[in-house]
A and B are shown apart, each in its own frame.
Chain A
Amino acid sequence: MAVPTTPTEQRRLPEPPTITKRALSIGRAIGSPVGAVIFAFVLGAIVVAATGSDPFLAYGDLLCGGIGLFCPTNVYPGFQISETLVYATPLILAGLAVAIAFKASLFNIGAEGQLILGAIATTVVGIKLANWPGWILLPLVLLAGTLAGAVWGGIVGVLKATVGAHEVVTTIMLNYVAQFLLEDLIVGGPLQAPGQSSVTAPIGKGAQLGRLVPQSGTFLGLPGGVYRVHAGLFVALAAAVIFWFLLQRTVFGYELRSVGQSTRAARYAGISVPRTIIMTMLISGAFAGLAGAVAISGLRHSLTDIYRSETTGFDAITVALLGQNAAIGTVIAAIFLAALHIGGQFMQGDAGVSSNLVDALQALILFCIAANFVRSLKLRLPALRQMPPSKSKEAPGVAAVATDTEPSATPNVKETT
């Protein structure tokens, strides 16, 4: 980076972080999402109580159904955890997709569409090459899904970078295009399995990710076959590591974050903003496409009309925001949200409280995060506001770039949040 520093001007290295300092910074990072969750749960409890159910029973069920804690004896905690991890697997990947776009100040609402494209590509390759051996077919189907998602996201990036089409609108539109494309393919279309409706043939055995629990014998008191948690979980965790490495340890990640902080400052620093936007949307789409691929390869094995009602791509927005767009945060938030959903299903059966309460909780979490959003994260519209560059972010390099263009701005201004 072309930061003109002489040895005397050189930035002093931050003092070695003491335990309290680190605790404070962690506290700051998780304060907002934890606060949002508490806010949502308190309001949710009021709603549950007001509609004549017991909020403690309902939340107890969420805890048991989601993460297997404090369960009655007839419930198998291991099974509940397995279901939560199954739900969380594509959610982690889709959450990373939304998060990486957020990092560049792009709002990818199109993870759902990119995920559907990924699922379609995975299924097509998995069916056409069904007889190929697994060691080549499995990577191939995952790659196909990733690429298809990248293309779908890339369209958005190109439109944004070349003609300035707002990514929020194009992604919403492309979600529906993907949805109808899928319907066209599986309802009476070329992919529909003979003699069946709204479903394709299953992908080849070699294209399927393995289950993590041995399918024969019993595991934690239940037959191994009921545990659906699959190797896609490791794919998702590996993707989270790649996400972290890409953002924090590569030049491109630095450029991406610079563009996210201030397009103008990034431009002054010699970064090609259009190129960064296109690359970011390609990668974002790739993560979402991989989410679709993993769900097909590890769990569903064929395309169905479940995508009419599935909401992974939208839940991913909550995941990214709750996870503060960090890799580890996204993983935790995805597992948290998955636990809510799986717990919600259990709650519906046990406490008679509709599992849709979970959607309402999710919306309340979003409201709460949104209300603090611009002020606490300055994620959006950084170039439009003449604020001094934010110092609380994890990117001192970006602050240096920004101060470079505005020498008068003091980087020590406290966040007023």
Chain B
Amino acid sequence: MNFLLTVLGLLVTGGFWQVAIQETALLLLPALGGVISERSGVVNIAMEGMMLAGAFAAVVCDLAWHNPWLAALAAILAGGFMALIHAVISIRFRADQIISGIAINIFAAGMTVFLLDKIYGVEGIGHVPPNFLLPTLNIPGLNQIPLLGQALFQQNIVVYIAIIVLILTNVVLFRTRLGLRLRAVGEHPQAADTAGINVYALRYGAVITSGLLSGLAGAFLSIGIVNTFVPNMTGGRGYIALAAMIFGKWTPLGATLACLIFGVGTAIYDSNSTLHFSPYLLNMLPYVLTIAVLAGLVGKSVPPAADGIPYEPGSH
């Protein structure tokens, strides 16, 4: 009873929702990337590695150039580069996309620390000064609304970008010819190819987009929410994003809802000192929920038909 009251108390605080929305946006960017990639038929479990590469590149470049915008751009490109590797190996070489994804994650975890040691040595990477971080944007007027103002209109700029990306993804995927083609490529590439759609080009584009978005999320983490890079700082968020994508049944809006649930969970976790509740059991929640969805307890979640199958012209 006490526990419920405390949670209810949290749910009416602006600060709680600020954290929850921030965490939601952090998960949403890679989750949307995953939706785009998998809708085109390329399994992507490498969001974790792409985020990590982005987080690292952002801090390195911000420390060097003292410009968060260029640093964020570098992070986006770093994520995109990792995605390009995944794309070449899984599309051009028709490799097993799961193995390629695992390799990306291991590669990013290893290379970031390798370069960290190489560039900064024993002194460590240090911290980015506050005025060179990605800024928080207060929307004048709207930010005065009680509860909602703090939750939605006093956020880091990346949160607004994430919302724009969400709208764009949803519109492009379901309201444009490009989106229709992308989904066709993910459901039945042979038919799409016959209709004159360039399967490879769309898949490359989709996978690289997922990397760009994950890279941005990495920058948000390392030079927006915190101000430095620590090894493996993504801490499984790329996998939670993967869970959110599946939980959301491979749709942008579903993934958003899932990210929101997981984001609220993280915010509860962050304010756990008042709750006296095992933080670890709370941390399990996204994963347990996802298994429940997969088990069909919360409705069936079906991936795109050609998800994970390399396309070879002339087969079938």
Q: At the interface, yes or no: B151 with Cβ under 8 Å from chain A?
A: no
A379 close to B96 (CB less than 8 A): yes
Q: Is the interface of A mostly helix, strand, loop or mixed?
A: helix
Which stretch in A133-141, A381-389, A394-402 binds the other chain?
A381-389
Partner of B102, one of A183, A314, A379, A380: A314
Closest B residue to A51 using CB positions: B118
B284 close to A359 (CB less than 8 A): no
Closest B residue to A379 using CB positions: B96
Closest B residue to A182 using CB positions: B280
Q: Tell me the bound Cα distance from A26 to B147 in angstroms.
A: 68
Q: At the interface, yes or no: B24 with Cβ under 8 Å from chain A?
A: no
A159 close to B118 (CB less than 8 A): no
A373 close to B95 (CB less than 8 A): yes
A354 close to B114 (CB less than 8 A): yes
Interface size class of B (residues with CB under 8 A): 35 or more
A356 close to B114 (CB less than 8 A): yes
B85 close to A367 (CB less than 8 A): yes
Closest A residue to B95 using CB positions: A370
A174 close to B290 (CB less than 8 A): no
* Given known A184-B281, A354-B118, contact A159–B99 (CB-CB < 8 A): no
Q: At the interface, yes or no: A242 with Cβ under 8 Å from chain B?
A: no
A172 close to B113 (CB less than 8 A): no
A107 close to B98 (CB less than 8 A): yes
A374 close to B106 (CB less than 8 A): no
Q: Which of B105-121 contact A (CB under 8 A)?
A: 106-107, 109-111, 113-118
Q: Which of B110, B283, B290, B291 has the most CB of A within 10 A?
A: B110
A159 close to B284 (CB less than 8 A): no
Q: Tell me the bound Cα distance from A176 to B104 in angstroms.
A: 19
Q: At the interface, yes or no: B45 with Cβ under 8 Å from chain A?
A: yes
Closest A residue to B108 using CB positions: A363
Which stretch in B53-61, B184-192, B196-204, B239-247 binds the other chain?
B239-247
B280 close to A317 (CB less than 8 A): no
B98 close to A109 (CB less than 8 A): yes
B114 close to A173 (CB less than 8 A): no
Q: Which of A346-394 contact B (CB under 8 A)?
A: 354, 356-360, 362-364, 366-367, 369-375, 379-381, 384-386
Partner of B99, one of A169, A183, A354, A373: A373
Partner of A359, one of B99, B110, B243: B110
A386 close to B315 (CB less than 8 A): yes
B27 to chain A, nearest CB (A): 14
A356 close to B296 (CB less than 8 A): no
Q: Tell me the bound Cα distance from A369 to B288 in angstroms.
A: 32
A183 close to B280 (CB less than 8 A): yes
CB neighbours of B116 from chain A (8 A): 354
CB neighbours of A166 from chain B (8 A): 294, 303
* Given known A163-B295, A371-B95, A375-B94, contact A384–B89 (CB-CB < 8 A): no
A177 close to B287 (CB less than 8 A): yes
Q: Tell me the bound Cα distance from A66 to B45 in angstroms.
A: 31
B102 close to A317 (CB less than 8 A): yes
CB neighbours of B113 from chain A (8 A): 354, 356, 359
Q: At the interface, yes or no: A180 with Cβ under 8 Å from chain B?
A: yes
Q: Tell me the bound Cα distance from A314 to B99 in angstroms.
A: 11
CB neighbours of B129 from chain A (8 A): none
Q: Tell me the bound Cα distance from A374 to B311 in angstroms.
A: 12
A370 close to B100 (CB less than 8 A): yes
Q: At the interface, yes or no: A237 with Cβ under 8 Å from chain B?
A: no
A177 close to B95 (CB less than 8 A): no
Q: Which of B283-313 contact A (CB under 8 A)?
A: 283-284, 286-288, 290-291, 294-296, 303, 308-310
CB neighbours of B239 from chain A (8 A): 172, 176
Q: At the interface, yes or no: A35 with Cβ under 8 Å from chain B?
A: no
Q: Which of A163, A359, A375 has the most CB of B within 10 A?
A: A359
A294 to chain B, nearest CB (A): 24
> With contacts defined as CB atoms under 8 Å apart, how many contacts are there between chain A and chain B in the complex?
147
Q: At the interface, yes or no: B316 with Cβ under 8 Å from chain A?
A: yes
CB neighbours of A375 from chain B (8 A): 94
B104 to chain A, nearest CB (A): 7
CB neighbours of A403 from chain B (8 A): none
Partner of A176, one of B85, B98, B236, B309: B236
For A64-82 the 0/1 string (1 means CB < 8 A from B) is 0000000000000000000
Partner of A354, one of B103, B117, B309, B315: B117
CB neighbours of A366 from chain B (8 A): 99-100, 102-103, 106
CB neighbours of B280 from chain A (8 A): 180-181, 183-184, 187
Q: Tell me the bound Cα distance from A107 to B102 in angstroms.
A: 12
For A12-42 the 0/1 string (1 means CB < 8 A from B) is 0000000000000000000000000000000
Q: At the interface, yes or no: B278 with Cβ under 8 Å from chain A?
A: yes
Q: Which of A146-195 contact B (CB under 8 A)?
A: 159, 163, 165-166, 168-170, 172-174, 176-177, 180-181, 183-184, 187, 189
B103 close to A169 (CB less than 8 A): no
B290 close to A169 (CB less than 8 A): yes
CB neighbours of B303 from chain A (8 A): 166
B94 to chain A, nearest CB (A): 6
Q: At the interface, yes or no: A97 with Cβ under 8 Å from chain B?
A: no
Q: Tell me the bound Cα distance from A9 to B296 in angstroms.
A: 48
Partner of A170, one of B96, B114, B283, B291: B291
Partner of A159, one of B90, B102, B278, B295: B295
CB neighbours of B115 from chain A (8 A): 51
Q: Tell me the bound Cα distance from A109 to B316 in angstroms.
A: 30
A367 close to B89 (CB less than 8 A): yes
For B216-258 the 0/1 string (1 means CB < 8 A from A) is 0000000000000000100010010011001000000000000
Q: Tell me the bound Cα distance from A360 to B110 in angstroms.
A: 5
A370 close to B106 (CB less than 8 A): no
Q: Tell me the bound Cα distance from A356 to B96 in angstroms.
A: 25
A207 to chain B, nearest CB (A): 26
B102 close to A359 (CB less than 8 A): no
A384 close to B309 (CB less than 8 A): yes
Q: Which of B96, B107, B283 has the most CB of A within 10 A?
A: B96
Give 3 closest A-B pairs by Cβ, nearest first: A359-B110, A363-B107, A366-B103
Can you list 20 A-B contacts with CB-CB less than 8 angstroms, sorted by A residue number?
A165-B291, A169-B290, A170-B291, A173-B287, A173-B294, A174-B291, A176-B236, A176-B286, A177-B287, A189-B278, A356-B111, A359-B107, A363-B103, A363-B104, A363-B110, A370-B90, A370-B99, A373-B96, A374-B94, A384-B309
